Amino acid sequence: MLFMFNNYKIMSKVSVRRAKLNEYSRIKFITKLAYKIPYKKDTLVTKPHESKDEECQFKKKKVHILVATAGNKIVGAIRYKLSKPNNLYFFKLAVLKTYRNAGIGSLLISELEKIAKKKGVQKMSLDCAKEKKLDRYYIKFGFKIEKVEDKNRHRLVHMSKKVYSFADIPKCAGLTNYITPVFGFLKKIPTGRVVSYGLVAKRCGLSNPRLVGRILKQNTEPKKIPCYRVVREDGRLADGYKFGGLIGQTKRLRADGIEFDGAKIKNFKEMLWKGSR
Ligand SMILES: CC(C)(COP(=O)(O)OP(=O)(O)OC[C@H]1O[C@@H](n2cnc3c(N)ncnc32)[C@H](O)[C@@H]1OP(=O)(O)O)[C@@H](O)C(=O)NCCC(=O)NCCS
């Protein structure tokens, strides 16, 4: 309880903004300090290499930095650059030891995602050291592992996440044409199976899985049209199920025989229905 209160106290003081040019040495300092202290005893500490070129790139605005501040003090930072094609690459996420586990790292990543959306970027990516076990941290934000690479005795995990910009989503009016095919598709899902938003989009000719969510919101007959069988690509449920939220959706899936492992559907891959046209 005290822990939660402390987190609340920290987060109520924290805000995120773009770094100013004269703040580079402070950012460099806190990054160095943060990287010296691992997340757990058995995780490896990697020293961040800070080249002169990096400072130059920041000054030339080729690399950008978001900082988290508590009061006037910078306590966390994340660097990023827009790289080709349509990719926002980020690196050197760092939070000072005394401010960890309060949500600052998560806040920096979600602010970065907002920037990516505004810029119309299609993908966010990063590389992290396998030894640091940080892949699990990023998976929580929806990042997926692209590949693991051995590089000079380091095992690098390349991760990425698709970003959908709101500009991609046409106005709801045009979507009405898709209601019949989507609802028709949902009716075909066998009991005890689920489908991803992506699959519904693909099968029904929608350009973006997010549009599926909008169409599901038009459902007024949850018993006839089982929109609760549409879940996220990672086996979790999306927020906002129209008929009782997460609890309502979980209940209906359980009644179908679907089991859960924490927030995730158990044996998700086997439960996924690949669909028919
Ligand atoms: C990684 C780091 C930025 C996280 O910042 P943070 O503000 O503590 O993160 P948040 O508060 O948003 O998240 C904390 C959660 O992430 C988990 N987490 C943090 N580091 C982790 C790691 N290396 N592996 C797995 N989980 C990790 C915590 O256990 C906690 O989980 P919980 O919410 O289930 O309790 C911070 O630990 C840090 O500065 N580390 C050293 C530098 C570093 O390794 N940077 C990343 C380079 S890619």
Angle at 137 (CA atoms; ends 130, 271), nearest 5 degrees: 100
Atom 35 in ligand 1: which residue has the minimum CA distance?
Answer: 101
Residue 48 lies in a domain: yes
Residue 136 lies in a domain: no
For residues 14 and 109, state if they share a domain. Answer: yes
For residues 222 and 115, state if they share a domain. Answer: no
Give pLDDT tens digits for 37-64: 877 777 777 777 788 899 999 999 999 9
Quote the number of domains for the chain: 2
Which domain-ending residue is among 95, 119, 143? Answer: 119
Residue 153 lies in a domain: no
CA distances from 106 to 8, 29, 260 (A): 14, 21, 25
Q: What CATH number has the domain bearing residue 261? A: 1.10.10.10
For residues 88 and 194, state if they share a domain. Answer: no
Q: What CATH number has the domain bearing residue 98? A: 3.40.630.30
Phi, psi dihedral angles at 47 (to 5 degrees): -80, 130
Give pLDDT tens digits for 119-152: 878 899 999 988 778 898 999 888 999 999 987 7
Residue 252 lies in a domain: yes
Look up the domain containing 74 and give its range. 2-119
For residues 107 and 189, state if they share a domain. Answer: no
- Average pLDDT (163-183) is 72
Give pLDDT tens digits for 96-110: 999 998 889 999 999
- Distance from the alpha carbon of residue 191 to the mean position of ligand 1, in angstroms: 39
Which domain-ending residue is among 85, 119, 153? Answer: 119
For residues 114 and 6, state if they share a domain. Answer: yes
Cβ-based neighbours of 183, under 8 Å, separated by 6 or more: 215, 219, 225
- Distance from the alpha carbon of residue 57 to the mean position of ligand 1, in angstroms: 26
For residues 251 and 185, state if they share a domain. Answer: yes
Q: Residue 240 — very low, low, confident or very high, per pLDDT cuts 50/70/90? A: confident
- How deeply is 256 buried, as exposed, middle or buried, from its count of CB atoms within 10 A (0-12, 13-18, 19+)? middle
- The reply to whether ligand 1 has any atom less than 6 angstroms from the CB of 102 is yes
